[in-house]
A and B are shown apart, each in its own frame.
Chain A
Amino acid sequence: MSKKNVLIIGASSGIAEAVARRYAEQGSNFVLVARSQAKLDVIAADLIARGAKGVQTRLWEGHDTASLPEIAGFAWSALGTVDLALIAHGTLPDQPRAQRDLAYALEQFRTNGESAVACMLALAGHFEAQGNGVLAVIGSVAGDRGRGSNYVYGAAKAAVDALASGLRAQLFKKGVHVLTIKPGFVATPMTAELDLPAALTATPDRVAADIQRAVDARCNVLYTPWFWTWIMRIIRFLPTAIFKRLSL
């Protein structure tokens, strides 16, 4: 593992920060994109202290898809080549509210689905021209099958999954790799108020270590931690007649 040029969109998310620390230790260069300059400044200083060679930051609101081409251009001109782009922004919708409030539901769908899809599309052309590198996107195990308890989030992540799958097939021929990351329960600020089952909940660093390995190994789809591969295999293959009766 050597130093890399890394672009992270949604750089203040718990998983993104943990991934960035690991690359910082190897002396990597960063362009970090998030919506709070105060957070970006703190993260940039942290990465420099951990060994990052350089960190540049850009403000961006998740809904502002129009500015994505310009942000992609900024990243490539700042870094020269982008070895790894990680798309990591997202929210965890309040599902009961999403069921009552259509505007809220669609806004959540845009943040977690449309906006991540837009990021991939905006970066794809640059990667294609570059002819190498890894485009990684954080999906979710929730995208594998819509569940009664969080189908708005699940549907958005399913859109990310499908787009990444298609993009993988297309960019593979150009020498670019697309990695879909599907974390299970992770103890991050996003999930801090949830009562997650301790035995199934991973630390962001554990997930980051898996991501780093998957990037190096050119994995297509990463379930992290590993046991989610098996849990989701079971969930995907449950007959609908049974699945719809479960309170998952």
Chain B
Amino acid sequence: MPTLGSWGRYPHHPQTPHSVGWPFEIGNAFSRIQGAGVASTLGYGCGRSYGDSCLAQSDHVIALAGMDRVIAADWQTGVVTVQAGVTLDGLIRIALPNGWFLPVTPGTKFVTLGGAVANDVHGKNHHVMGTFGRHVRRIVLHRSDKGVCDCSPAENEELFNATVGGLGLTGIILAVELQLRAVRSSDIEQTCIKFGDLDEFFALSSQQDSKYEYTVSWVDCLAGGKSAGRGHYIGGNHSAAGELKVADGHAKRMPVDPPFSLVNTLTLKAFNALYYQRQVRKVVETRVSYDPFFYPLDKLLLWNRMYGKAGFQQYQCVIPPESGRDAVAAILRETSINGAGSFLAVLKQCADIKSPGLLSFPKAGVSLALDFAQRDALNTRLFARLDALVHEAGGRLYPAKDAHMSAHHFQSAYPAWARLESLRDPLLMSRFWRRVTS
């Protein structure tokens, strides 16, 4: 039997899949799993969650990637209803030729719609469009205790709110009705601006964010001293006219697991320096296809393998505006003191746009994401210090990327967790949820 895991490959708990290709087979899957004496399970899509939020406490998951059909599509209004196993990539392929695009997209297109809802994902346009869940009109759930339930802001509202960002714990998501966003072209008008330090980033962000629907910044987290916090600010808008062309499917595949992590201090220093210097001019404007703009890492399929078998952890936090600048500076300082540079350090200003989701991650402030190759002292040393900084600054961590946060930090950052717990499907339990609620 093949096994499944999470994107970061840490913690390592191989999951036994029970594949379901049709919505009416879920009930049987529940009975089969219970009949086999397994106490809990969890829906599993593409396994793009980084930590343990996609791992069942029992290590038996219901694999839903085969449920990838369109149920209905209205190309006049841009409302689509799809099975939860449809990937963002699959939906773009169908919608873009008809002039529609995802209202919100994370940095990979290889997540399922069910996963996008369960994690209430956000993207480079959070400051304009908010989270994914704001554009979801209806969710069809199959609960082990109540059967199939429709929920929307008008019907079963509490269950709807709990399911958006509910980490897949409120029932198996069967289908999602989504309002797409109209586009005139598959291209993005991109502006890339170099900045020399963190203060320059915050200044740029406050001047420029209103000009672009999409903004994100990359930071050279290995640069110290005067250039600490230097990086590139990237803004983009959909082109006003042009072709509606789906990107071709060619991607390179990381072929094998290297015997050790290819991401180490040496390669990181070289990469970061090169990446920062790739652009000589201060401001560069280009027109690019949506694919490299939104999904640069998808070009290298299975890039998580770069970190070797031990895997990696991402540290993603959001810090409120009043403490954002100092907390980010302190986090970057702490990271570089530890010599634990990150391959990708991404900064993004989030706006105060409320999501229906009870446990939605983004809130007003600055979000910072860092990747670290997995090693023994990561959780006890570096992350313990970063957690203290984030907690003190009134920030919080992103469950979809987390493999370490304490129950105390989680419960104080997400006070609505108890309401989700009361609406949880009794048969569904993830390793993440057990860790942060017990």
- Residues of chain A touching chain B, judged by Cβ–Cβ distance below 8 Å, are 14, 38-39, 42-43, 45-46, 49-50, 189, 192-196, 198
Q: Does B427 contact A (CB under 8 A)?
A: no
- Mark each residue of chain B from 1 to 30: 1 if its CB lies under 8 Å from any CB of chain A, else 0: 110000000000000010101111000000
**CB–CB A45/B22 < 8 A:** no
Given known A-B contacts A189-B66, A193-B1, A45 and B19 have beta carbons under 8 A apart: no
**CB–CB A49/B72 < 8 A:** yes
Give the CA-CA distance A39 to B20 in the complex, in Å. Answer: 13
The A-contacting residues of B in range 63-83, CB under 8 angstroms, are: 63, 66, 69-73, 80
What would be 14 A-B contacts, judged by CB atoms less than 8 Å apart?
A14-B66, A38-B24, A42-B69, A45-B69, A45-B71, A49-B80, A49-B94, A50-B94, A189-B21, A192-B19, A192-B63, A192-B66, A194-B1, A194-B2
Give the CA-CA distance A194 to B71 in the complex, in Å. Answer: 29
Closest A residue to B256 by beta carbon equals A199
Q: Which residues of A contact B19 (CB under 8 A)?
A: 189, 192-193
Closest B residue to A50 by beta carbon equals B94
Give the CA-CA distance A228 to B230 in the complex, in Å. Answer: 51
Q: Which residues of A contact B22 (CB under 8 A)?
A: 38-39, 42
**CB–CB B1/A46 < 8 A:** no
Closest B residue to A189 by beta carbon equals B21
- Mark each residue of chain B from 45 to 73: 1 if its CB lies under 8 Å from any CB of chain A, else 0: 00000000000000000010010011111
Chain B CB within 10 A, most for which of A49, A189, A192: A49
Given known A-B contacts A46-B69, A50-B70, A192 and B17 have beta carbons under 8 A apart: yes
Q: Which residues of B contact A49 (CB under 8 A)?
A: 70-73, 80, 94
Q: Which residues of B contact A45 (CB under 8 A)?
A: 69-72
Give min CB distance, A48 to chain B, whole Å: 8
Q: Which residues of B contact A196 (CB under 8 A)?
A: 2
Give the CA-CA distance A127 to B21 in the complex, in Å. Answer: 33
Give min CB distance, B89 to chain A, whole Å: 11
Give the CA-CA distance A193 to B17 in the complex, in Å. Answer: 8
Q: Which residues of B contact A195 (CB under 8 A)?
A: 1-2
Q: A42-B23, A43-B69, A193-B1 are in contact. List 20 more A-B contacts (CB 8 A).
A: A14-B66, A38-B24, A39-B22, A42-B22, A45-B70, A49-B70, A49-B71, A49-B72, A49-B73, A50-B70, A189-B21, A189-B66, A192-B17, A192-B63, A192-B66, A193-B19, A194-B1, A194-B2, A195-B1, A195-B2
**CB–CB A42/B17 < 8 A:** no
Q: Which residues of A contact B66 (CB under 8 A)?
A: 14, 189, 192
Chain B CB within 10 A, most for which of A38, A193, A196, A198: A193
Q: Closest 9 interchain pairs by CB?
A: A192-B19, A49-B70, A46-B69, A49-B73, A189-B21, A46-B70, A195-B2, A195-B1, A42-B69
Chain A CB within 10 A, most for which of B19, B70, B72: B70
Give the CA-CA distance A195 to B16 in the complex, in Å. Answer: 11
Closest B residue to A17 by beta carbon equals B69
Q: Which residues of B contact A192 (CB under 8 A)?
A: 17, 19, 21, 63, 66
Give the CA-CA distance A195 to B19 in the complex, in Å. Answer: 13
Give the CA-CA distance A47 to B2 in the complex, in Å. Answer: 30
Give the CA-CA distance A50 to B1 in the complex, in Å. Answer: 33
Give the CA-CA distance A221 to B92 in the complex, in Å. Answer: 33
Q: Which residues of A contact B17 (CB under 8 A)?
A: 192
Give the CA-CA distance A50 to B70 in the complex, in Å. Answer: 8
Give the CA-CA distance A50 to B86 in the complex, in Å. Answer: 13
Give the CA-CA distance A43 to B66 in the complex, in Å. Answer: 13
Closest A residue to B74 by beta carbon equals A49
**CB–CB A46/B24 < 8 A:** no
Chain A CB within 10 A, most for which of B24, B63, B69, B94: B69
Q: Which residues of A contact B71 (CB under 8 A)?
A: 42, 45-46, 49
Give the CA-CA distance A42 to B71 in the complex, in Å. Answer: 7
Give min CB distance, B87 to chain A, whole Å: 11
Closest A residue to B21 by beta carbon equals A189
Give the CA-CA distance A50 to B73 in the complex, in Å. Answer: 9
Closest A residue to B73 by beta carbon equals A49
Q: Which residues of B contact A189 (CB under 8 A)?
A: 19, 21, 66
Q: Which residues of B contact A38 (CB under 8 A)?
A: 22, 24
Q: Which residues of A contact B70 (CB under 8 A)?
A: 45-46, 49-50
Give min CB distance, A34 to chain B, whole Å: 12
